[in-house]
Amino acid sequence: MHELKRVVVVGAGTMGSQIALQTALGGRHDVTLVDTVAGQLERARAQNRKLLDRSVEKGRLTKDAADAALKRIVDSKDLAAPAATADLVIEAVIENFDAKKSVFEDLGKHANEHAILASNSSTIAISRLADASGRPQLCCNMHFFHPVTVMQLCEVVRGPKTSDETVEAAMEFIRSIDRTPVLLKKEIWGFIVNRILFAASEEAMRLLEGGYASAEDIDIAVQKGLNWPMGPFHLLDFSGLDIFYGAMQDRHSTGDGPEPPEVLRKLVEEGRLGRKTGKGFFDYG
């Protein structure tokens, strides 16, 4: 198994910029960050600079190491040239099937024939994208969590055609950038973390709806009894109720999950979407 040295990240948004940064911080990889939208690469660089400055202020990183990490990320508006010499391409463009499929088609035409092609999608399993590249044995999901520089976990998802070598190399790459990989051996909606999060959140909403306990008390119970840093209702408000509602609906439409609880539907219809609108399950004033 050869080391995945040259890494290309496609999409310089919230996730892509931080995946590039985490990779650069390891100091072992050459990183190219690709985005086609004007101004996005500059925004990503400024955001990464801010993140690094904060780490330097807090004494977690030296100024030299921060500068070196940022220098190691090369910006590019073009995917074809950096992909041609890449060992690993991580797709992190918007969560839209057609956009992602078109990136995988481009990679099929331009990427180095040995390159591993990964998608950071939270919901689109790799089997839906892999064939577009013409080399599904080299494709997998690499699902990082936000913020990548803080959250240790990355879920690797094996598609039906993913080879053992691809899985091994993907897991090893994630370790090499100081994150912790887990392997989902067969594709399933929500992968591991979101399935468990959805099950717990749904149960919390059913308890609330049934009048068994208040949202405050359910959150306290989960925080103090299960040691979660945040109760499910605060977490729902933090993530955005519309996002959660949409994901539950999508899952339900595939026959794999329940209908969203009434209490959630009502809040979304009232525009109470959580922290971002100032109100959700709780009132943020």
- Measured from the CB atom, is 7 or 93 closer to ligand NAD? 93
Of 36-44, 171-179, 227-235, 254-262, the segment contacting ligand NAD by CB under 6 A is: 36-44
Contact call for residue 14 and ligand NAD (CB under 6 A): yes
Task: Give the shortest CB-209-to-ligand NAD separation in angstroms.
Answer: 27
Closer residue to ligand NAD in complex, CB, 103/111: 103
Among 78, 95, 217, 259, binds ligand NAD (CB under 6 A): 95
Smallest distance from ligand NAD to CB 13, Å? 2
Q: Choose between 142 and 268: whose C-beta lies nearer to ligand NAD.
A: 142
| Residue 127 a catalytic site member | no
The tokens of 219 are what? 């959150």
Of all residues in the shown chain, the one whose CB is closest to ligand NAD is 13
Q: Which stretch binds ligand NAD (CB under 6 A): 24-32, 34-42, 153-161, 166-174?
A: 34-42
Active-site choice (55, 76, 119, 155): 155
For ligand NAD, the closer of residues 65 and 70 by Cβ is 70
Rounded CA separation 97/125 (Å)? 10
Q: At closest approach, how far in Å is the CB of 156 from ligand NAD?
A: 13
Give min distance, CB of 44 to ligand NAD, in A. 7
Computed on alpha carbons and rounded to an integer, the radius of gyration of the chain in Å comes to 20
Residue 91 bears catalytic tag: no
What character string, x for contact with ligand NAD (CB under 6 A) and - otherwise, covers 203-222?
A: --------------------
Q: Distance between CA 88 and CA 95 in Å, rounded?
A: 20
The catalytic residue among 122, 133, 141, 201 is 122
Burial of 79 (0-12, 13-18, 19+ CB in 10 A): buried
The smaller minimum CB distance to ligand NAD, of residues 15 and 208, is found at 15
The reply on whether position 146 binds ligand NAD by CB under 6 A is yes
Comparison of 42 and 270: residue with beta carbon closer to ligand NAD: 42
- Amino acid (1-letter code) at residue 31: V
Residue 42 known to be catalytic: no
- Which string of DSSP letters, residue by residue, matches the chain? -----EEEEE--SHHHHHHHHHHHHTSS-EEEEE--STTHHHHHHHHHHHHHHHHHHTTSS-HHHHHHHHHHEEEES-SHHHHHT-SEEEE---S-HHHHHHHHHHHHHHS-TT-EEEE--SS--THHHHHHHT-GGGEEEEEE-SSTTT--EEEEEE-TT--HHHHHHHHHHHHHTT-EEEEESS--TTTTHHHHHHHHHHHHHHHHHTTSS-HHHHHHHHHHHH--SS-HHHHHHHH-HHHHHHHHHHHHHTTSSPPPPHHHHHHHHTT--BGGGTBSSSB--
93 scored as a contact of ligand NAD (CB under 6 A): yes
Between CA 263 and CA 251 the distance in angstroms is 18
94 in contact with ligand NAD (CB under 6 A):
yes
Residue 109 makes contact with ligand NAD by CB under 6 A: no
Tokens of 165: 């070598």
Is 216 assigned a catalytic role?
Answer: no
Catalytically active residues, by annotation: 122, 143, 155, 194
Question: Rule CB under 6 A: which residues touch ligand NAD?
Answer: 10-16, 34-37, 40, 92-95, 99, 103, 120-122, 144-146
